Structure 1
Amino acid sequence: MSESKKKMLDPDPRVWDFETEYELGQDNVRPLGLDIHNPVFLISAILICAFVLIALANQEGAAALFGWLRPWLTSTFDWFLVLSVNVITLFCLALIVLPVGKVRIGGKDAKPDYSYAGWIAMMFAAGIGIGLLFFGVLEPVYYNFSEGGGARPLNLDINTPGNEYVGVVGTIHHWGLEAWAVYAAVGLSLAIFCYNLNLPLTLRSAFFPLLGERIWGWWGHLIDTLAVFATLFGLTTSLGLGAQQVAAGLSEVFGIEPTPTVVVLLIIGITIIALGSVLLGMDAGVKRLSEINMIMAVALFVFVMLVTGIGTAISRYFNVMVDYIVMLPALSNPFGREDTSFFHGWTTFYWAWWIAWSPFVGMFIARISKGRTVREFVVCCLLAPTAVCALWMSTFGGAAIDLLNAGGAEGVRATVIDSYAPEGALFGFLKELPFYGIVAPISLVLIIVFFVTSSDSGSLVIDTITAGGKMDAPVIQRVFWCTLEGLVAIALLLGGGLAALQGAAVSTGIPFTIVVLIMCYCLWLALRSEQRKM
């Protein structure tokens, strides 16, 4: 057995002490009152600032680059992404039934810091963000009614009995088991190495079984820097989509033209609100906003279910869940696919996006999950969110499909089918329902709150990585990263719009896939060690 693995099995491994000036061979740099882990903070900050300046200075070039980059990456590395996510998903499912599922994050006597309600609310707010609101109507409708059915999952015919909601099934595939498996794998790795092995809450710690002391050197710096880029670009994709949807909502509710200037001003304004939440901290800021988020989202969901028919919604949900389980092997097969528009245009992009998003979501849920068992963590992070996301997508998307089949939902038809303006799909759907004048403004506020929770929790995560895993770094650093997130979102939107946002996420998600796969192996070694201690 290697020396590094022997150290990992030690019940009392070395503790990372942030109070000393010399920590495991790395200087603890504190210029201008900052507490940064050199050189991850400086390298990440300099490269990202340079990216913002170049993208803003050459917007046409950035648009052309990212317009080419995303389709090339998703068609070239499709098999790698899909097979990798399949492996990660099977690994997480195995943890539920294997004996290592009894291991408790933080040790056998650890107690949870948050109630189930608060824990799950924060997990959902970070993991789902504004995606449910942006894609809940758009995606199922687009798959079902795309021109010639080119984007339909497995090229199924919606006129065949039983295939009426194939678009909903395709959407659940993208927002269900596989997405949350990626989050669970990264989050559980970080939680175990931090709370059980007393290592910093940062990505490099998960590689201690393989790299040993080298995680404190350039190998560790490289891993953390890549995590910063993946997190930032995955996050700004979500923020950019949210800004576009808020602009569309302002146009619908108040008649404000959704120009690029309006979108930029929205990002600036909401970033300022996020800064306020960042200054309040985890419990007073992120937790409170996440709980508000959940209450408003549940209220909107219940309203839609009531006015579109509870019985219809429940029946549809169980039908599409059965179809999802039956079709999952075919949807997860990367070879010989004929539905290339669906597979390359959507599935492989989503897998890269979820992996790019995983350092953010993983570190955030790791930070709030002390005291939970491995089995409890995986079930609550994998199966429960899949069921809830499926319920949301089948209710919103399924109802929109029913309205379109009945000859209604002209707003949805105009924004998704006749012309592709995805940011307006939700409001086009809500127009078909009662009390639009009340529901639309509430939905607009909900989108903004989702936007804010993504931004403030994301800045907390990036700050933790660049501070070497420290969870109470100076507030000025969180302010810096929150501000930079807004600037990157603006640069990408002006330098290519939606294609630029998606291209940036994919370009970081593909290399980070290798990191996540290795993390799963290291996690397995750590869990076996913890099981032996028990």
Structure 2
Amino acid sequence: MSRLIAFLRANVHPVVFPVSAGLTVGFVVFAGVFTDTAGRLFTPLQVFITTQFGWFMIAGVASMLAFSLYLAIGPYAKVKLGPDDSEPDYSTLSWFAMLFSAGMGIGLLYYGVAEPLTHYLEPPRGVAPESQAAAQQAMNITFHHYGFSPWAVYAVLGLGLAYFGFRRDLPLTMRSLFQPLLGERIHGGLGHAIDTLAVLGTVFGVATSLGFGVMQINAGMATVFGWDLSTRNQMILIAVITLAATASVAAGLDSGIQRISQVNINLAALLLVFVFLAGPTTLLLSAYVENVGHYVQTLIDTLLWSGTYEGSEWLSDWTLFYWAWWISWSPFVGMFIARISRGRTIREFVLGVLLVPTMVSFLWFTVFGNTAIELERAGAGLGAVVQEDFSSALFALLDQFPLATVTSVVTTLVVGLFFVTSSDSGSFVVDMLTSGGSTNTPVQTRIFWAVSEGAVAAVLLLSGGLAALQAAAISTGLPFLLVLLLASWSLLKGLREEHPPEPRSGPRLPPASLPDATYREQEFRKRELELRERELQLRERALQLAEQEFELTVTNGGEDAAAPPGGHVTATGQLDVELDAGREQLEAARHELAADARELAADARELGMGDPTATPDERPDHA
């Protein structure tokens, strides 16, 4: 025991690890022993969260998408995630492969056929079932759930972690995101709470995905080998695949996750190409272009749809579940993509995370979703399979093409590898969080978290299957959304501290309030009066010089007038006329100057500046 205590003290965070591990083990024990009680708690919890806070989740995800776009095109786009001379650790292709496989691989396989076909049969937004409009709406909604929105959540969190971790040399933990807001308090109780919440969100988010993966692997085994679709078989599969994930965890990030990700991407790509070529190829090419265009065209409407006028029950089962699932996954995915993105600029990071996985996901759903809809329209009977069991939908689609057994085996293998990469990546991230941000964590703790994720997935399946998985995702996703919004604010504050905004030049927006407008108008008028006062002083000086010049002219003119013989009377008369005209001009200038001075004094008194033409002793503010 003493050796174990010494090991934990040397390798894990003294607060985050024991609290997170205790809560996780406690949940496993409770849900495993009191299975029926846990199952009865999940459904009411999901209903309460989605009905009371659904609007908050929709607005929160929308705001993070807007924020991520601002970061990509705003003044901080060229800031590097690391020192200014740093270079990326991974090639672009390897980076994309790890992003895609660690992000939502199991979701693509589980829902690739099931979701578009379900929305086609039961459209949520006022179109006739099984119509052309229903098909377009089905693809648009599916794109919405796997498009820019979830990846914006990952991008914001991952960017913040990479920025503070690699550019400011803070530990690669969730608490580091809040350094601009909390300062040194991130090392106290608030920081411990943030990291613990991130650990729990990661464990339950990954466990939800593992539960979906195991259900689909069971369906694949049923298709290929005739296994029963049963909870018992799913428990066996969880145990076997968790062992495989544990081996990958023990191998480390570079030798484990990277290799498995590359193999899995290749297999998934082969499956995608097969269905693309075996299915309605020309229609799929056209559908991809139109689906993407329709998604972009209706993005804002779909993004902000909260069911106010059409009811929110459907949103609770689909969009809100997805948002909570992605949010609960965000500590895992965000930490992972931050770890592999050192040396990239903010623009490169955001655009890469937003566009590449999204466009690949769109291609996947177009190939499998539109193919499934076309087969259903032709009478293949896929709709009945989907309505009975989502996990069998993909295999029912493959059964419509040649080499069905081979492709079903490949699909089962791909799902299994996605299971491994999800558990592998999740365990690595959780271990980083519970070890204070260390990237060289001991194998023993990584194995503990890999086994814990499998155990949580197992008890969730025992407690209620799909409904329990959804409830677990939603219950952990909601509180972490608030953390994400605060983290976004903190990231913006940190960027502004390093790169203060430059003073704006040119026209400015009008002031936001009447007092502000009045103040600015007064300041402007005061400055104008100061300039007018200076102008009067210059004119007065010019007038004095003109009078001196006039006096010299009078003196010199009188002497010169007596000189010419025989011309005294004529010259003197002409000079007198000119002198009188000069005196009148000077007098008029004095009157004009005095009038301007009186006007200036009146304006100055109105603004409370005193008389600018008075001497210092005459001014009211003179002490």
The alignment's TM-score, normalised by the length of structure 2, stands at 0.78
Please report how far the alpha carbon of residue 344 of structure 1 lies from its aligned counterpart in structure 2 after TM superposition: 2.1
1:256 is paired with a residue whose SS is coil
Correspondence list, 1:86-101, <5 A? 86-101=62-77
Given that 2:99 and 2:357 are in contact with CA atoms closer than 8 Å, whether structure 1 keeps it comes out as no
Aligned to 2:274, which of 295, 303, 307?
Answer: 303
Is residue 80 of structure 1 aligned with residue 52 of structure 2? no
Please report how far the alpha carbon of residue 206 of structure 1 lies from its aligned counterpart in structure 2 after TM superposition: 0.3
Listed one character per residue, the Cα deviations across residues 431-456 of structure 1 (whole Å, up to 9, x for unaligned) are: 11111021110111011000000001
Q: Distance in 1 between matches of 2:501 and 2:303?
A: 37
Q: Distance in 2 between matches of 1:250 and 1:449?
A: 15
Q: Which residue of 2 aligns with 1:452?
A: 420
Is residue 516 of structure 1 aligned with residue 492 of structure 2? no
Listed one character per residue, the Cα deviations across residues 93-144 of structure 1 (whole Å, up to 9, x for unaligned) are: 1111112010011121011110011111111111113110000000000111
> Comparing 220-229 with 123-132, which one deviates more in the overlay?
123-132
Please report how far the alpha carbon of residue 32 of structure 1 lies from its aligned counterpart in structure 2 after TM superposition: 5.4
CA pair 95-122 structure 1, distance change in 2 beyond 3 A:
same
Aligned to 1:390, which of 362, 372, 376?
Answer: 362
Q: Distance in 2 between matches of 1:135 and 1:234?
A: 17
Given that 1:286 and 1:457 are in contact with CA atoms closer than 8 Å, whether structure 2 keeps it comes out as yes
1:495 is paired with a residue whose SS is helix
Q: Which residue of 2 aligns with 1:4?
A: none
- Name the amino acid aligned to 1:400: A
| Higher relative contact order, chain-length normalized (CA < 8 Å, sep 6+) | 1
Q: Which residue of 1 aligns with 2:400?
A: 432
Q: Distance in 2 between matches of 1:32 and 1:43?
A: 13
Q: Distance in 2 between matches of 1:30 and 1:505?
A: 35
Q: Distance in 2 between matches of 1:98 and 1:447?
A: 39
Please report how far the alpha carbon of residue 163 of structure 1 lies from its aligned counterpart in structure 2 after TM superposition: 4.5
Aligned to 1:372, which of 344, 349, 357?
Answer: 344
Please report how far the alpha carbon of residue 314 of structure 1 lies from its aligned counterpart in structure 2 after TM superposition: 1.2
Aligned to 1:127, which of 81, 85, 103?
Answer: 103
- Name the amino acid aligned to 2:344: R
Structure 2 spans left out of the alignment, 5+ residues: 503-623
Q: Distance in 2 between matches of 1:337 and 1:283?
A: 50
Q: Distance in 1 between matches of 2:8 and 2:489?
A: 40
Greater C-alpha Rg: 2
- Name the amino acid aligned to 1:424: S
Correspondence list, 1:47-446, <5 A? 47-146=23-122, 152-157=123-128, 161-333=132-304, 334=306, 336-338=308-310, 340-408=312-380, 410=381, 412-417=382-387, 419=388, 421-446=389-414
Q: Distance in 2 between matches of 1:477 and 1:113?
A: 25
Q: Distance in 2 between matches of 1:281 and 1:160?
A: 50
2:298 is paired with a residue whose SS is helix
Given that 2:118 and 2:383 are in contact with CA atoms closer than 8 Å, whether structure 1 keeps it comes out as no
Please report how far the alpha carbon of residue 347 of structure 1 lies from its aligned counterpart in structure 2 after TM superposition: 0.7
Q: Which residue of 2 aligns with 1:505?
A: 473
2:278 is paired with a residue whose SS is helix
Given that 1:235 and 1:454 are in contact with CA atoms closer than 8 Å, whether structure 2 keeps it comes out as yes
Please report how far the alpha carbon of residue 310 of structure 1 lies from its aligned counterpart in structure 2 after TM superposition: 2.6
Please report how far the alpha carbon of residue 33 of structure 1 lies from its aligned counterpart in structure 2 after TM superposition: 7.5
CA pair 162-60 structure 1, distance change in 2 beyond 3 A:
closer
- Name the amino acid aligned to 1:286: I
Q: Distance in 2 between matches of 1:61 and 1:316?
A: 46
Q: Distance in 2 between matches of 1:32 and 1:101?
A: 41
Query: Would you say how many aligned residue pairs link Structure 1 and Structure 2?
Result: 497
The alignment's TM-score, normalised by the length of structure 1, stands at 0.90
CA pair 33-41 structure 1, distance change in 2 beyond 3 A:
closer
Given that 2:287 and 2:370 are in contact with CA atoms closer than 8 Å, whether structure 1 keeps it comes out as yes
Q: Which residue of 1 aligns with 2:533?
A: none
CA pair 153-382 structure 1, distance change in 2 beyond 3 A:
farther
- Name the amino acid aligned to 1:427: F
Please report how far the alpha carbon of residue 323 of structure 1 lies from its aligned counterpart in structure 2 after TM superposition: 1.6
1:247 is paired with a residue whose SS is helix
Aligned to 1:484, which of 424, 430, 452?
Answer: 452
Given that 1:165 and 1:398 are in contact with CA atoms closer than 8 Å, whether structure 2 keeps it comes out as no
Q: Distance in 1 between matches of 2:151 and 2:33?
A: 37
Identity among equivalent positions (%) equals 44
- Name the amino acid aligned to 2:56: F
Q: Which residue of 2 aligns with 1:12?
A: none
CA pair 32-523 structure 1, distance change in 2 beyond 3 A:
closer
Listed one character per residue, the Cα deviations across residues 193-228 of structure 1 (whole Å, up to 9, x for unaligned) are: 000010000000000001111100100000000001
- Name the amino acid aligned to 1:251: A
Q: Distance in 2 between matches of 1:475 and 1:143?
A: 44
Please report how far the alpha carbon of residue 533 of structure 1 lies from its aligned counterpart in structure 2 after TM superposition: 12
Given that 1:134 and 1:426 are in contact with CA atoms closer than 8 Å, whether structure 2 keeps it comes out as yes
Please report how far the alpha carbon of residue 71 of structure 1 lies from its aligned counterpart in structure 2 after TM superposition: 2.4
Given that 1:236 and 1:489 are in contact with CA atoms closer than 8 Å, whether structure 2 keeps it comes out as yes
- Name the amino acid aligned to 1:272: L
Q: Distance in 1 between matches of 2:498 and 2:147?
A: 29
Given that 1:260 and 1:494 are in contact with CA atoms closer than 8 Å, whether structure 2 keeps it comes out as yes
Please report how far the alpha carbon of residue 309 of structure 1 lies from its aligned counterpart in structure 2 after TM superposition: 3.0
Listed one character per residue, the Cα deviations across residues 138-196 of structure 1 (whole Å, up to 9, x for unaligned) are: 000011103xxxxx242333566554331111110001010000000000000000000
CA pair 335-140 structure 1, distance change in 2 beyond 3 A:
closer
> Comparing 465-474 with 32-41, which one deviates more in the overlay?
32-41
Given that 1:231 and 1:359 are in contact with CA atoms closer than 8 Å, whether structure 2 keeps it comes out as yes
- Name the amino acid aligned to 2:258: K
Given that 2:127 and 2:133 are in contact with CA atoms closer than 8 Å, whether structure 1 keeps it comes out as no
2:89 is paired with a residue whose SS is coil
Q: Distance in 2 between matches of 1:447 and 1:328?
A: 30
Q: Which residue of 1 aligns with 2:583?
A: none
Given that 2:307 and 2:315 are in contact with CA atoms closer than 8 Å, whether structure 1 keeps it comes out as no
Given that 1:136 and 1:397 are in contact with CA atoms closer than 8 Å, whether structure 2 keeps it comes out as yes
Given that 1:67 and 1:496 are in contact with CA atoms closer than 8 Å, whether structure 2 keeps it comes out as no
Please report how far the alpha carbon of residue 528 of structure 1 lies from its aligned counterpart in structure 2 after TM superposition: 2.9
1:99 is paired with a residue whose SS is coil
Listed one character per residue, the Cα deviations across residues 475-525 of structure 1 (whole Å, up to 9, x for unaligned) are: 101011001111111111111111111111110100100100011111112
What CA RMSD, in Å, does the superposition of the two structures yield over aligned residues? 1.6
CA pair 350-371 structure 1, distance change in 2 beyond 3 A:
same
CA pair 339-175 structure 1, distance change in 2 beyond 3 A:
farther
Please report how far the alpha carbon of residue 526 of structure 1 lies from its aligned counterpart in structure 2 after TM superposition: 2.1
Given that 1:352 and 1:509 are in contact with CA atoms closer than 8 Å, whether structure 2 keeps it comes out as yes
CA pair 32-329 structure 1, distance change in 2 beyond 3 A:
closer
Q: Which residue of 2 aligns with 1:472?
A: 440
Q: Distance in 2 between matches of 1:74 and 1:391?
A: 30
Listed one character per residue, the Cα deviations across residues 238-293 of structure 1 (whole Å, up to 9, x for unaligned) are: 00000010001000000011221110010010000011111111111000001111
CA pair 165-158 structure 1, distance change in 2 beyond 3 A:
farther
- Name the amino acid aligned to 1:319: E
